[in-house]
Amino acid sequence: MIFLNLFIITSEVSDGNADTFYEYIISSDRVFSIYFIFEAVISIIACLNSWKRFNNFWTYFDGLVIVVNILFLCNLPNFSAIRLWSIFKYLPRIKWLRGINTIFRALKKSIPVIRDIIIFVIFMFIFAGVLGVHMYGGKLKYRCVNEYGIMLDEEQICSTTLSSGYQCPDGYTCLKTKDNPFYNTIGFDNILTSCLTIFQIITMEGWSDILFMTSDSSSYFGVIFYLVIIILGNWFILQLIVAVISNNLMDEIDEEEGDDSEDNNDNVKEIEYKNDKENEVAIVVKENNNNNKKKRA
């Protein structure tokens, strides 16, 4: 049912002439919603006898599926596609996909360490955001403006300090304008916009443009600020998360191989034990036969 629902959802079209097909999608989605509500209710009822079985991620997820599907049936915003995540509950049961269960266990084992890493990242964002506000707060709004109020270049940041940054040519004065670069999306005017800009720097998407703009507003010494953010945020933290998950994944694989080897050893011991018993029985039978022959003789 999940794969069928996935196929139906991926078949949706946005063409305005496909009204009939869209109505078919909506009606089929309602059928799937009723089915998944029924399935989730049955799953929750089955877990009520045991708190250990009830207190797990998939039980809470089933409860979320019920709420989302009821909202959809009440003609509220449709988030019913979230139920497709239930596929991860059944994938480990497929024989040739059992390795996914190992990955899930490794991710679950990594959560405590990743949680500590996330806390460190939050503090790093706050510290870097406050530092960015103090260093570049409001400076990205300065442009070269002539006496008629016409800017030399809307994207060119200028510096009010004569000893550093970009200096306006003759006939232009470095004045503060209304907006920051890139439609007022980049800046260090407050902690929120500063953290958003730092996030873009960490992703290394257009970070060099931000570096050049801040350098034009003050000096090139701010490159140290960017290097620290990129080294900590993009290289160190990312590699740390990958290392944690990789180590836990290798531990899970080693444990599975150890369990398999123990099972094999148990099977070998059982076979050896059976062979020993069979040999003992054969010896006893042979001795009895010899004794019988002697008595007859």
Considering the domain architecture, whether residues 50 and 186 belong to the same structural domain is answered as no
Q: Are residues 41 and 126 in the same domain?
A: no
* Residue 162, pLDDT score: 82
Q: Is residue 87 a part of any domain in this protein?
A: yes
Per-residue pLDDT tens for 71-88?
A: 766 766 666 566 666 667
Q: Is there a single domain that holds both residue 168 and residue 87?
A: no
| CB contact set of 92 (below 8 Å; sequence gap of 6+) | 98, 100, 101, 104
State residue 285's pLDDT score: 47
| Mean pLDDT value of segment 216-223 | 84
Give the DSSP letter of residue 235.
I
d(CA 159, CA 185): 20
Locate all alpha helices (DSSP H) within the chain, ordered by sequence. Answer: 2-10, 19-46, 51-54, 57-73, 87-90, 99-136, 181-184, 191-203, 207-217, 223-229, 237-296
pLDDT above 90 covers what percent of the chain? 13
Q: What is the pLDDT of residue 284?
A: 47
In a domain, 258, yes or no: yes
Q: How many domains does the chain have?
A: 2
Same-domain status, 118 and 61: no
Name the domain boundary from 34, 60, 93.
Answer: 93
What's the rounded Cα separation, in Å, for the pair 65 and 39?
A: 10
For the chain, the average pLDDT equals 76
**Domain termination residue (choose one: 71, 93, 115):** 93
pLDDT band at 297 (very low <50, low <70, confident <90, very high): low
Same domain, 268 and 144: yes
Query: Would 252 be classed as within a structural domain?
Result: yes
Q: In this predicted structure, what is the pLDDT of residue 178? A: 85
Q: Is 162 exposed, middle or buried (0-12, 13-18, 19+ CB in 10 A)?
A: exposed
Q: pLDDT-based confidence at 188, cuts 50/70/90?
A: very high
Would you say how long the chain is, in residues? 297
- Asked if 226 contacts 211 with a C-beta cutoff of 8 angstroms, the reply is yes
Distance (Å) of CA 198 to CA 160, 191, 210: 24, 10, 10
Would you say residue 99 lies in a domain?
Answer: no
% of the chain residues with pLDDT over 70? 62
pLDDT of residue 128: 92
40 and 63 share a domain? yes
- For the stretch 85-100, pLDDT in tens is 666 766 666 666 667 7
Average pLDDT over residues 56-60: 70
In this structure, are 130 and 79 located in the same domain? no
Question: Which pLDDT score, from 0 to 100, does residue 123 have?
Answer: 92
Give the residue numbers spanning the domain of 36.
2-93
Q: Are residues 204 and 75 in the same domain?
A: no
Q: What pLDDT shows up at residue 119?
A: 92
pLDDT at 288: 55
Residues 173 and 72 both lie in one domain? no
Q: What is the pLDDT of residues 247-266, one digit of tens each?
A: 888 888 888 777 655 555 55
Instruction: For residues 224 and 229, give the distance between their C-alpha atoms in angstroms, rounded to a whole number.
Output: 9
Region 116-128: what's the mean pLDDT?
Answer: 91
Predicted pLDDT of residue 99? 74
- Both 280 and 178 in one domain: the answer is yes
Longest dimension (CA), the chain: 137
Task: Let me know whether 178 and 271 are in one domain.
Answer: yes
Amino acid at 243: A
Q: Report pLDDT digits (tens) over 262-290.
A: 555 555 455 555 555 555 555 544 555 55
Last residue of a domain, one of 93, 125, 146: 93
Per the structure block, which two tokens stand in for 215? 């350098």
Are 27 and 151 within one domain? no
CB 177 within 8 A of CB 145: yes
pLDDT above 80 (res 17): no
| Global confidence as pTM | 0.62
Q: 101 lies in a domain?
A: no
Q: How far, in Å, CA of 272 to CA of 269, rounded? A: 5
Contact 148, 158 (CB under 8 A): no
